[in-house]
A and B are shown apart, each in its own frame.
Chain A
């Protein structure tokens, strides 16, 4: 390979592409040619780097300098300063919120330096469309070892030693799942990859697929050998066109290299893959629904037993694994289960990827060791809550999960501890909420989602979630009644106990956890007709609370219809006649002084 003075790794993940990284790349190319640096500087497009909120991103190696929020207009200056004059441009570097000092090197940025990259180890480093770059970073060595040197039993043992648990949500030990399927009777078996990722706001799997598709393919090859499958399917939602494109390229290249298809690496083992594009229903991520969907039928969950390990896709023994689960596997085989298990807690090993979003400074994709306390994620990696607001809760597990309050922020991130709180580890959605988020409202948001996404098959989920949703809507609209909370709790329990699939069985969790930790908010809505977060429109009075008003006048400045009277050192006053209830002032006020 040619040696370059500098490698510019530009993020071409979905987030950065959306914020314009391809235009930045074009500008860079032009500028580099203009300055005649093309033989010294190489540009590489990578998958998502993780720090999406700061995009478009570029990391300059060998120094590892992290540039953020680039625009094509910045480029001539940047190229001249950094690459001609050797003066990295501070104004385009990262400054932590509430601090003044820039941090030039990526490895020094707290967002990155507390992370441990395993599933995402190639993120931001390789061009996902070049199999050679993957291979250069030990790619397919795990598969080679598994195919040429290991028996299925040995592979399964390694997986069991690793303690890896399914990252799709349920956390079932992968080695044991493979063992069930390996032992199931049948000539034909399948291995499937779950890339449905339907949780609102989640994008962990998309990032893995975009940044490192070969890791997933390699994981599937190893799994196939372990269970004795010769055909696999990657179920990816059709809304992920970039991921699908990169997977298609990866599959083609892997076939060309003899890493898929007949007699892989001369091992005598055959395995090939197909992509199945899902229609984007959340419920299709549920394992049996995913299988019915691949079978060409409406994606509706089937009763279990029979379990997929015995009767899965087309009634044949089948293993389904999540994208992130699979991306971990090559390294486990290569470095050993013990190596993987060296990180994490007693029952939760390795790392977990999270999509950190919401009221947090550093929005992005992170991979952290199991056992890390939530507080560290939110305050150190996430950089805390913006706008000087107060932290209220962190939602984990999306529509199946729950809200964890401030008091439990020292909970370590592992399956059992998170479950104890009433939330679930889930597939990696982590939404941070501040004091302006209404807990009844958030429960309602998730229930709206599950009600719409319920496949409609079973009564408790189809109708029960609707009844709960109606109740929450009533409560938010000020029509809540004494006894509603108890009715919600009671019905929630029946829905959990009686529903057919995971969707219904977990749909009440957001309601149950918010009642558990924020019952007072529910009561305020019902008894006092008051929304403590100042969020539920029907309960807002659009009045300034004099005791809280700091007389800053921000509200008056922001009001689009000039309905707020304010003078220096005076409490603001809202003219209700003029007010159009747009809630702008409520959002603007940093002191929760408008209700």
Chain B
């Protein structure tokens, strides 16, 4: 801790903080334009100047200068105010000030500062820049005439997103932010550059001319896509979401990807269901909720004990819990998650717990088995941070070159499907060299001997990777202090071997990412249940879940609750219009096991109900009040189990990454026009 004096106030702050951070702590209001705490110090706009006693220079930029013990800082003085005004005046000579038609107006830093510093006239002659506005890029409109060249977009794109799509070009007054050869954007479209732009130079096309920001209602939501569980702010007018911004607090710390940022319009797809449908003579006919509920109550009562339910891992914890209680107490039937959660039960078998995002950031050696930029982009940001800022070693293990490859210290290109083999080979190398953490293994694990026996038999290069490369990766891994292993939607066997590799090093957390927002919640509530009951059930209640047509044959009664009339829904006897996660309150459990609250950000279509309402209301009709969801305690590591596993009959599934695409896309993203625009 160091102490410094800010405007006469003594402030204590940790060593390494900047003067700006100290002024914030002191409650002083030092303006900034180019500063962002996530980015490396840059010092371009010079608006954050302060005065420092005992220095040669008149002013000191507070955002780039480290605070030191005993500093005496003045954040305001006539000279400082004059210098800041000069900077604003200079910025305004070529700024259009077209606030009335600028989407940023109302939360524009330039506008705010011009107001705050009372600049009603300018000593300098206008010299407007006249750069063509980029209307062609998808999703993002770039009006560089409004750009103040703070460099934030270029820096976030490079430092955080590791894309470097835009950068400074030219010098002097001709300097601007440009793409290669001034072409349209062809990037990951995370839109973080829009969020970070302090002015209206970068704006979302989805929001263009939709509303003034002061008309917007902000709601804290959790991203409905993958289970990084990014904390976002949904901004709506008249109950319709117009834009989504990343929140600076929360797991993502301001990060967001194309899906979370732009993919919200799936809820406004034209084919959203708006009223219940009942099958009549083979045709689905619109009906009232009462009719539908009555029919369900009577059929379900008849089929008691013989109805099976599947729930989507995108439902809230409250919904899944209620569904489970409903099935247990009322229908006395089976319930399972529609998507396999075997990887999570495999994790339980190993005894490991779930890794957290911040551990990736602080890791010194990351072993990556997935292209996160495609599946879980914001987790990918943590890797960029660890490698680029903290010099972590990245080991990429993949059948193809992926985006992260260029950051990799070691890249092991394996034959398709050989992830398990290569981990076994790495473990074999570690055990042969006797590099494992024997004390930990003795005290906290079981099953080391059989594992040792199994893996040390490996001699062939079955993974397709040379011995030297494996040895090098093994060495990087064992020599690190805080290694992480990252998997995304893996097979259960891959989880087992990765778990063993972690246990060898005395590590107890696996970073296990998933594609669906609440898989961990679904697993915590339901476990990974066998879905064999589907075939024998006489009735089915499918919530946001689809089944192949064969599985729906010969069922006496099928209810489907969904957003759209899916193929499965069209086979149902009753179809219920459900609400999407952006339209309801509740909690999701992210990949770390963090339970996060999401809020109603958009009005649902008028006839739709949330699945929680649907189930509670039927239960009520059946004369039963369901208990409320109670948070499930996080599992902590107690004992680790080595689970010797071999690669057996490798099947390459359809979503096995044999080519890299912009982002993983599924049922809901395909309903988003915005996402489809950039899906190629």
Contacts and interface: CB of A to CB of B under 8 A. Distances in A.
Contact of A459 (B41, B45, B65, B170): B45
Interface stretch (B90-98, B237-245, B451-459, B648-656): B90-98
Interface stretch (A223-231, A434-442, A493-501): A493-501
A468 to B, nearest CB: 10
Interface stretch (B54-62, B497-505, B564-572, B587-595): B54-62
B59 A454 contact: no
A463 B90 CA distance: 6
A464 interface: yes
B149 A460 contact: no
A22 interface: no
Q: How large is the interface on A (under 10, 10 to 19, 20 to 34, 35 or more residues)?
A: 20 to 34
Greatest chain A CB density within 10 A among B58, B82, B168, B171 is at B171
Contact of B168 (A456, A470, A487, A500): A456
Contact of A454 (B45, B86, B148, B171): B171
B172 A494 contact: no
Interface in A387-407: none
Given A305-B65, A460-B90, A470-B127, A452 B44 contact: no
A452 B172 contact: yes
B198 interface: no
A466 interface: yes
Contacts of B345: none
Contact of A487 (B44, B123, B148): B123
B66 interface: yes
Given A459-B87, A497-B59, A498-B87, A303 B127 contact: no
B46 A466 contact: no
B86 A457 contact: no
A467 B87 CA distance: 12
Given A459-B87, A466-B127, A467-B93, A498 B49 contact: yes
B151 interface: yes
B46 A500 contact: yes
Given A456-B171, A487-B123, A494 B86 contact: yes
B172 A498 contact: no
A117 interface: no
Contact of A467 (B64, B124, B176): B124
Nearest to B154: A298
Interface string B112-152: 00000000000111010000000000000000000011010
B172 A451 contact: yes
Given A466-B127, A467-B90, A467-B124, A456 B45 contact: no
Q: For chain B, what secondary structure do more than half of its interface residues adopt (helix, strand, loop), or is it mixed?
A: loop
Contacts of A462: 149, 172-173, 175
Interface string B165-185: 001101111111000000000
B93 A500 contact: no
A554 interface: no
Nearest to B87: A459
Contacts of A460: 46, 86-87, 90
A429 B350 CA distance: 72
A457 B168 contact: yes
Contact of A298 (B46, B87, B148, B167): B167
Nearest to B47: A459
A103 interface: no
A455 interface: yes
B533 interface: no
A498 B171 contact: no
A303 B64 contact: yes
Greatest chain A CB density within 10 A among B42, B64, B123, B172 is at B172
A451 B124 CA distance: 16
Nearest to B149: A456
A192 interface: no
Contact of A498 (B64, B86, B93, B94): B86
Nearest to A449: B172
B124 A459 contact: no
A303 B61 contact: yes
Nearest to B170: A456
Interface of B: 41-47, 49, 57-59, 61, 64-66, 82-83, 86-87, 90-91, 93-94, 123-125, 127, 148-149, 151, 167-168, 170-176
Given A456-B174, A498-B59, 20 more contacts: A281-B171, A298-B167, A456-B170, A456-B171, A456-B172, A456-B176, A457-B149, A458-B43, A458-B45, A459-B44, A459-B148, A460-B46, A462-B149, A463-B90, A463-B93, A465-B172, A467-B124, A467-B127, A491-B124, A497-B57
6 contacts: A305-B66, A452-B172, A455-B171, A462-B173, A470-B127, A498-B46
